[in-house]
Amino acid sequence: MNTKTGINMLALLFAVLTAAAHAQNFPMRPMRVIVPLAAGGGMDSVTRNVALSFTEALGQSVVVDNRPGAGSLVALEIMADAAADGHTLMMISATTVIYPLLYKSRLDPVRDFSPVSQVTAQGYVLVVHPSLPAKSALELVKYAKANPDKLTYASSGIGSPIHMTTELLGIATGTKMTHVPYKGLGAAYADLVSGRISLSFATIISAQPHIKSGRLRALAVSTAKRAPAMPDIPTMAEAGVPGVVVVNWYGLMAPKNTPRPVINRIAAETTKAVQAPTMMKHLLADGSEGIGSTPAEFTAHISAESEQWRRVIKEGGIRAE
């Protein structure tokens, strides 16, 4: 072994030992979790529950920092400048993957950050106004093919996961429908239940009251398996429309070059948090489920999501406005 090789090996050993020691002492001060949405929503609620679990497990306070704006891009810029020591994290979703693609951001969720763990998974339910002559997803597709551009669908904005999910439906079935974006899906419900808008993919928790009252008809869920909160509603494939599987999700990521032992510890604590009985009950009530994945699994998940939505943006001719 020459002198240069020996020095390099000693430097590597020192770096490994330093990272391990850092992880053992982590966290050394209060932590912060950035949320790219306003307080009060589903992501905010999940983040605060995870933060509480972290506080109890790690012995340091965890502050939830809401930084809404530009579909996660504002929060991503803040994260890009954060210290890579694990004390600053960000809760992300499918939107965080879609917007950098659509708006050609300089930041990439995998390349420029360190994915930590997927936290939750929650599907959408395809709902239509009862006046629409479609009792199943397959009947809806047949109606849309016979009446191109007649059907209108609501979304929570251009580039939102609901917009992209409906575009995926159009690509998979060769149908054309008219997109009507809203500032949020909550604002779209008035037009959905009145019949001014034909259909939408919607979060299960927000759609349930309208489905139970008969104001909207549920046709299928977007998950690969039936949703625990809606066991009687078929999946898109079961309803005769394969190729449309979309799961919205939340997950944690850290700044690039955060020590691997620190990331692994946060991932382990995330899994413990989402598998706690009280957390599982809370998530089920919101129409979602806890996941808790390894950093490698979450990295692969984000990469697959990026590939899917890049294809939808290209084939659907979607442009930012």
Residues 102 and 129 in one domain: no
Inter-residue long-range contacts of 205-214, CB under 8 Å, 24+ positions, other chains counted: 205/42, 205/229, 205/285, 205/286, 205/287, 205/288, 207/125, 207/127, 208/287, 210/127, 211/125, 211/127, 214/130
122: closest CA among 223, 244, 214, 251? Answer: 223
How would you label 271-282 residue by residue, b for 16+ Cβ within 10 Å and e otherwise? bebbeeeebeeb
CA distances from 157 to 99, 176, 180 (A): 11, 18, 8
Let me know whether 141 and 215 are in one domain: yes
Can you tell me the distance from the alpha carbon of 218 to that of 200, in angstroms, rounded to the nearest whole number? 10
Maximum alpha-carbon separation in the chain: 80
**How crowded is residue 72: how many other Cβ atoms within 10 Å of its Cβ?**
29
Final residue of a domain: which of 203, 221, 239?
Answer: 221
Same domain (yes/no): 109, 16 = yes
CATH of the domain at 290: 3.40.190.150
Report the amino acid identity of residue 63: V
Q: Is the pTM for the entire model greater than 0.85?
A: yes
> Distance between CA atoms of 228 and 129, rounded to whole angstroms?
23
Question: Which alpha helices (H) appear in the chain, and where do they start and end?
Answer: 3-25, 42-58, 73-80, 94-102, 137-146, 161-173, 185-194, 204-212, 260-275, 277-285, 295-315
Same domain, yes or no, for 113 and 140? no
**Over the stretch 171-202, which tens digit does the pLDDT of each residue have?**
999 999 999 999 888 889 999 999 999 999 99
Range(s) of the domain holding residue 177: 123-221
Question: If you write DSSP's letter for every residue of 96-107 in order, what string do you get?
Answer: HHHHHHHTT-S-
Q: Domain tally for the chain?
A: 2
Q: What is the pLDDT of residue 284?
A: 85
Is residue 106 one of the residues assigned to a domain?
yes
Check residue 288 and give its pLDDT: 87
Q: Do both 38 and 106 map to the same domain? A: yes
pLDDT at 11 over 60: no
Distance CA 312, CA 321 (A): 17
Same domain, residue pair 50 and 110: yes
- 117 and 252 inside one domain: yes
* pLDDT tens per residue, range 52-86: 999 999 999 999 999 998 889 999 999 999 999 99
Mean pLDDT of 304-315: 96
Tell me, yes or no, whether 229 lies in a domain: no
Contact present, 241 and 222 (Cβ < 8 Å):
no
How high is the mean pLDDT of the chain? 92
Are 120 and 275 in contact by the 8 Å Cβ rule? The answer is no
Q: Give the pLDDT of residue 9.
A: 56
At 272, list the tokens: 């413990």
Question: According to the model, what pLDDT value does residue 311 have?
Answer: 96
Q: Is the pLDDT of residue 15 over 90?
A: no
